């Protein structure tokens, strides 16, 4: 299995997710700079959390037009798995790899806390390590995590089983309590909570570990 983590100016969770991947894979992922125009062979691509380009214009907007995005999209079209966490989720919506948009939190305040999530489906390469309906606790840390989409899109996500995680106690006003969604082929996942921040007992929780383990099992 080969994995790559995309690094932008302002990324601050790239090394965190790299550690989680290394623990799950037994080897280090490639760290790929945003200005590169080529992507190493990658079964998994992770766009990490942070504040790419300082969140200028709107979160993820500039990153969504970076040089590396073209090969990322091409890899996704060929079946590579893509995981976007927090700012990475925002980037995925900006690139069109996932529908909808992430808006300002409903109370216009930055939120940083553990969030209880309901696992909405276990029938995906990302979530097969959980049970459907299981409640897990995963940290959130964002100012623009309010997921929005038109009603037809929301209905389609629900009907196709593409809502991966839902907030048990919606902290940001997201439509239908959505915390994470999947692409049509379920090989692209965007989620606002940070599984890499709860993948080791030293971090105070391990509820995120099953996600990384599931990815490795899928791709090994």
Residues with catalytic annotation?
Answer: 86, 194, 196
Distances from the Cα of 41 to the Cαs of 45, 58, 63, 125, in angstroms?
A: 10, 30, 21, 19
* H or E stretch covering 163: strand 163-167
Beta-ladder partners of 141: 112
| Contact (CB, 8 A) for 108 and 173 | no
φ/ψ of 157, rounded to 5, equals: -60, -45
CA–CA separation, 220 and 216 (whole Å): 6
Query: 216: which 2 tokens?
Result: 């490795």
The end-to-end CA distance of the chain, in Å, is 6
For residue 112, the SS3 value is strand
For tokens 């380009």, name the residue: 53
């Amino acid at each position: 299995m080969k994995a790559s983590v995309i690094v932008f100016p302002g990324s601050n969770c790239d090394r965190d997710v790299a550690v989680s991947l290394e623990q799950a894979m037994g080897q280090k992922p490639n760290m790929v700079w945003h200005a590169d125009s080529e992507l190493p062979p990658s079964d998994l691509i992770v766009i990490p959390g942070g504040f790419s380009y300082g969140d200028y214009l709107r979160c993820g907007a500039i990153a969504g037009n970076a040089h590396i995005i073209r090969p990322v999209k091409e890899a996704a079209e060929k079946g590579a798995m893509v995981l976007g966490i927090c700012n990475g989720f925002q980037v995925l919506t900006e690139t069109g790899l996932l529908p909808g948009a992430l808006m300002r939190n409903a109370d216009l305040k930055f939120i940083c806390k553990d969030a209880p999530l309901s696992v909405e489906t276990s029938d995906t390469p990302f979530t097969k390590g959980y049970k459907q309906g299981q409640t897990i606790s995963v940290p959130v840390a964002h100012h623009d995590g309010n997921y929005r989409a038109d009603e037809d899109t929301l209905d389609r996500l629900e009907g196709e089983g593409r809502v991966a995680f839902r907030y048990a106690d919606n902290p940001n006003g997201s439509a239908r309590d959505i915390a994470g969604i999947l692409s049509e082929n379920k090989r692209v996942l965007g989620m606002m909570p940070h599984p890499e921040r709860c993948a080791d007992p030293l971090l105070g929780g391990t509820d995120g570990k099953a996600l990384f383990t599931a990815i490795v099992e899928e791709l090994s």
